[in-house]
Structure 1
């Protein structure tokens, strides 16, 4: 591997960014004031009529503070870890002594559950204490360890306290003693990727290269023959954690675990969607830290396939509920898709790393699409109800009556037995400041138009900027130099969103024509305090069409305005949504609401069966067409009013 000395732009530390945004501040406040406290109650099984978590109780049993049996999924510990990570991120920007005290008590509990050799896992401490590391394909031990490590890094960054980091390092050192290519170590890897990207974060936090080396081992070992997961399955007598004692006819599917071939040879996104994007994130991390050109090229290939052939219009991935997985190119059904919230979060992780490797607007566009549409759709406006699945189409009767659509929910749930998504949303939005900006030696990149203040060192100058934005409702945005010591040129680079047909730039009110390169507008000058770089983005609503080989969307159209994808809900349009259509020449009108949000209106049609005999299922009578005003609302907010049908892709009349 080469030692590329190029300095890549890096995200700003959370302590250097403050979100001040008319749209996003409400989400950040919701996470801090409502979601984090609510999820703590859920972890302690104190939410009435919600599925129990048992996470805290499992730790108390493992720590010897309570008697009982392990309950929940084998990876239940991760719900607490992701909650702690969200807390760490929140405390970095909003200190809260009471919240910190609660988190410290949870950390103390984790420490009491840790074994002398550093191992931490409540399932194997309580349920199967003699079977550590015997079923990596099913039991997610390294996945759970990864989330502990991520929580520890976030918490030390947010509070300066090292207790959780010490716990995580002891566990990581134990893992390093067990796994590796050296004689006497296990040449294995987890069935659910996560440890790899976490170890990179641990390396970044501690500077200890052994953690980077271990992350690289897990990535490079995956997919090599003989396949470790198959050998392990044979050693277990061909049994699975999910069906104890039952000999399996079919071995673990290597493609499902992205272990069908070495990662450098993979060029199609396959298998479990969350595992895939977590692995791709780690691959990009390692490519950056090690200057690994071939690994970066593998990331590019996988990105092109996933985004170009297997991503939904709302920035979600994973088209089937069978295994929460990818299927094949252009297979994007609307009424049965899975599109797990966690998968879009992982896609955002991957996009941010690719932006570090090569600042290109396409990565920022996808990061924005997933963030504005899927991630925020996964949480209700009250912060206490969540979607696990993010469908393109909902018919509540089918969700209830069709076994193939039981995973499609018309209402967000209070909690889940497998609750990976709710705390994942919390940790992402709590760390939102890490996704807005990146800084190189002399360039500040604005990846997202989210109002904020940020500090960075550019060309030796200490600079503080203030980003103001009207998105997602208005297209005006500006980047003001609030403070800048010394003198000397540096560059401001604004992403030019692909959805903006015409973007107008100005410096201090005078229109300019900046250099546009790879989807970013670059303006280089000796910036001084008070200077303003502004942009006016095109907010005209427009139609989106899928390629003709996406069969589910043949003859259909979707609507987008700014970064927001829109949908049609029964509450606005009545049932049945499949009966309404949008003429191809109908004007799309923006309707501004009292709260400043924007709906889209158009003159469309509804097909009716007025002339069909009620006793006949089929007949020769042609449906009649009646004019109807149709209304589209932002997809991210669907399901927050009356329950009912929802549709993203509407029939188009030509």
Structure 2
């Protein structure tokens, strides 16, 4: 096996940040308890889950029938994973007791051979592994494995880790190239990245090899999903979707090393890419790495929204074509941006290039936290960039779009996905490689790592989102030489850096986008960095027809939007002049010092009242001054239902 990438894990990173600490508090005090109530069907008016009840029935503790989606188990697993990260960050005996109780139920529901899935145990016993294309067995297994590894790392308790290891051992007896084994793979990728985590937790290389098998098998001919479809009598679980015959949907149209365009279901694609990057890092697989780079470039440069959302079509929750990025029809599933962040983190392990952290930041500060309300109790599954409420519920093309967040979903993958990402956010702030500590995200807190065999502690005090500043206090256990590499964000053209009270130095970053400070660091030395933070007028590629001649505003990591509550109805009538001055101010209720932007624009209005005619040849338009207000995109839909748009027409008159 080839040499793996020499990266080192950050021992600990505890977040204390003016912006993100509130989100961590929401996850701990609101979201995880709320989602626990939802999983137990105790949220009035919300979609029932039945997920915990399914496990209790499978464990023989209660009577009843399976209820919910075929992947209902994964909601419990993701909740467990989020809880594990919270416990790792701060031990919580009450939460830990609840988690231990859930694990006891899960272990009772596990078969003696290691199999664990309440849908097939309760609803279709004897039909296990007969519909990999549609029925998410390996997907649910992967999420439970991630929960088991996270809880073991947080507490040292092995009960769930041992259970998922038995499950993985059983899966290894079912799948493979050996005679008598199934030559299949999962319809919804997830098991692959989870098996790499299980390998890290146990050191058992069998799990790494099984992950690689599932990736290698994908796209082989004859097509496995069609073979199993014929074998089971051509039955379908989701007849409205073409999971069996649309091979692009599940990225099984080609072997993974031959895939260069982001096709099919967006979440599946980025979960697969995450595992591919893991395998490339662990094994030095050059073909896997090349495919990761090509897929990354296609996603980010041709198929990603300015908010970091991916997946532009509701049908199949899928990518469509290069530069097809409609704002009003956008799907941009919250889970897909979470998966994009997973992919970005793995690419940073392979290449210390700030472009990966830039995308990670874009998706995190915009689409991911747009997926939850400011109070943490309501959620978006879909994240459009333009909303016109009058057509919602009337035009079926917009059936997936909501003008307000929901309490829960029948397909409730997004809320626990947001919870587990935010609960583990400390894992994304730094990357340690060789004798370098890379700052990927400017989020305040304390981290510990080992460099050259010695412990280093860094405290980051961040005013990043409000003032574009961060301060670092570096404390190695003894004077030692290493590099502190500070990412220069893509939205910033210059930064001022002061090292230990010396003169300010101005940087534009190196070729990989970092400001590298290499020196012998003494305990208690400080680094201060201040980023230029202008309002940027953003334009899209000329081939994005939906935003041609339009602009969007960005300041720091935030993309901005306009809402009806601030700007009146008819947002499509507003224009932003090419030369305008922006006024930055705070707004009551905005978290962490986030700013709003004001500007003087104009509104197109007819010069005379229209009667009942739908079309006229003699109407003229006039321009009236209009005060425009832009708010961070992630805060929209917290003040009632109304129009919203990210993109605004650019005025052509000088």
**TM > 0.5 fold call:** yes
Q: Does 1:64 align with 2:60?
A: yes
Output the CA distance in 2 between the equivalents of 1:627 and 1:542: 22
Output the CA distance in 2 between the equivalents of 1:178 and 1:249: 26
1:502 to 494, 498, 507: 494
Aligned counterpart, 1:110: 106
SS at match of 2:624: strand
Aligned counterpart, 2:234: 238
1:626 to 624, 627, 634: 624
Q: Does 1:258 align with 2:263?
A: no
2:644 to 636, 643, 646: 646
Query: Does the 8 Å contact 1:587/1:602 carry over to 2?
Result: yes
User: For each residue in 1:168-215, what CA deviation from the matched residue of structure 2 results, as whole angstroms up to 9, or x when unmatched?
Assistant: 011101100000111111110010000000000000000000000000
Output the CA distance in 2 between the equivalents of 1:318 and 1:645: 22
User: For each residue in 1:144-183, what CA deviation from the matched residue of structure 2 results, as whole angstroms up to 9, or x when unmatched?
Assistant: 0000000001111111111111110111011000001111
Aligned counterpart, 2:364: 371
Query: Does the 8 Å contact 2:15/2:445 carry over to 1?
Result: yes
Query: Does the 8 Å contact 2:66/2:118 carry over to 1?
Result: yes
Following superposition, the deviation at residue 597 of structure 1 comes to: 2.4
Q: Does 1:539 align with 2:533?
A: yes
Output the CA distance in 2 between the equivalents of 1:327 and 1:240: 24
1:51 to 47, 50, 71: 47
2:613 to 606, 616, 623: 616
Output the CA distance in 1 between the equivalents of 2:109 and 2:455: 45
1:562 to 556, 565, 569: 556
User: For each residue in 1:116-144, what CA deviation from the matched residue of structure 2 results, as whole angstroms up to 9, or x when unmatched?
Assistant: 11001101011100100000000000000
Following superposition, the deviation at residue 251 of structure 1 comes to: 4.9
Aligned counterpart, 2:604: 607
Quickly say closer, same or farther: Cα 1:216–1:309, change in 2 above 3 A. Answer: same
1:571 to 554, 560, 565: 565
User: For each residue in 1:87-130, what CA deviation from the matched residue of structure 2 results, as whole angstroms up to 9, or x when unmatched?
Assistant: 00000011111111111111111011101110011010111001
**What TM-score do you get using the length of structure 2 for normalisation?**
0.97
Q: Does 1:229 align with 2:225?
A: yes
SS at match of 1:301: helix
Query: Does the 8 Å contact 1:592/1:598 carry over to 2?
Result: yes
Deviates more, 1:413-422 or 1:459-468: 459-468
Aligned counterpart, 1:21: 17
Query: Does the 8 Å contact 2:392/2:401 carry over to 1?
Result: yes
SS at match of 2:393: helix
Query: Does the 8 Å contact 2:391/2:398 carry over to 1?
Result: yes
Following superposition, the deviation at residue 629 of structure 1 comes to: 0.3
Output the CA distance in 1 between the equivalents of 2:215 and 2:4: 22
Q: CA RMSD in A?
A: 1.4
Following superposition, the deviation at residue 65 of structure 1 comes to: 1.6
Query: Does the 8 Å contact 1:344/1:375 carry over to 2?
Result: yes
Aligned counterpart, 1:429: 422
User: For each residue in 1:351-377, what CA deviation from the matched residue of structure 2 results, as whole angstroms up to 9, or x when unmatched?
Assistant: 000000011010000000000001000
Matches within 5 A, 1:139-538: 139-243=135-239, 251-481=244-474, 483-509=475-501, 510-512=503-505, 516-538=510-532
Query: Does the 8 Å contact 1:121/1:141 carry over to 2?
Result: yes
Quickly say closer, same or farther: Cα 1:382–1:157, change in 2 above 3 A. Answer: same
Output the CA distance in 2 between the equivalents of 1:323 and 1:310: 16
Following superposition, the deviation at residue 645 of structure 1 comes to: 0.6
Following superposition, the deviation at residue 493 of structure 1 comes to: 0.5
Deviates more, 1:75-84 or 1:584-593: 584-593
Output the CA distance in 2 between the equivalents of 1:294 and 1:534: 41
Output the CA distance in 2 between the equivalents of 1:138 and 1:477: 47
Quickly say closer, same or farther: Cα 1:224–1:586, change in 2 above 3 A. Answer: same
Output the CA distance in 1 between the equivalents of 2:40 and 2:607: 55
User: For each residue in 1:54-74, what CA deviation from the matched residue of structure 2 results, as whole angstroms up to 9, or x when unmatched?
Assistant: 101111111112221111100
Output the CA distance in 1 between the equivalents of 2:158 and 2:550: 54
Following superposition, the deviation at residue 610 of structure 1 comes to: 5.1
Aligned counterpart, 2:10: 12
Quickly say closer, same or farther: Cα 1:394–1:164, change in 2 above 3 A. Answer: same
SS at match of 2:442: coil
Quickly say closer, same or farther: Cα 1:133–1:565, change in 2 above 3 A. Answer: same
Following superposition, the deviation at residue 239 of structure 1 comes to: 2.1
Following superposition, the deviation at residue 613 of structure 1 comes to: 2.4
Output the CA distance in 1 between the equivalents of 2:615 and 2:191: 56
Question: Alignment length, in residue pairs?
Answer: 646
Deviates more, 1:589-598 or 1:409-418: 589-598
Following superposition, the deviation at residue 231 of structure 1 comes to: 1.1
Query: Does the 8 Å contact 1:10/1:356 carry over to 2?
Result: no
SS at match of 2:213: helix
User: For each residue in 1:313-365, what CA deviation from the matched residue of structure 2 results, as whole angstroms up to 9, or x when unmatched?
Assistant: 00010000000000010000011010000000000000000000011010000
Q: Does 1:125 align with 2:125?
A: no
Output the CA distance in 2 between the equivalents of 1:624 and 1:322: 40
Output the CA distance in 2 between the equivalents of 1:90 and 1:355: 24
Output the CA distance in 2 between the equivalents of 1:553 and 1:442: 44
Query: Does the 8 Å contact 2:225/2:244 carry over to 1?
Result: no
Unaligned segments of structure 1, at least 5 residues: none
Deviates more, 1:581-590 or 1:48-57: 581-590
Output the CA distance in 2 between the equivalents of 1:615 and 1:252: 49
Following superposition, the deviation at residue 624 of structure 1 comes to: 2.4
User: For each residue in 1:510-560, what CA deviation from the matched residue of structure 2 results, as whole angstroms up to 9, or x when unmatched?
Assistant: 223566230111110001122112211111111110011100001100000
Query: Does the 8 Å contact 1:238/1:251 carry over to 2?
Result: no
Output the CA distance in 2 between the equivalents of 1:543 and 1:192: 38
SS at match of 1:213: helix
Following superposition, the deviation at residue 249 of structure 1 comes to: 9.7
Output the CA distance in 1 between the equivalents of 2:155 and 2:584: 45
Following superposition, the deviation at residue 642 of structure 1 comes to: 2.3
Output the CA distance in 1 between the equivalents of 2:480 and 2:90: 34
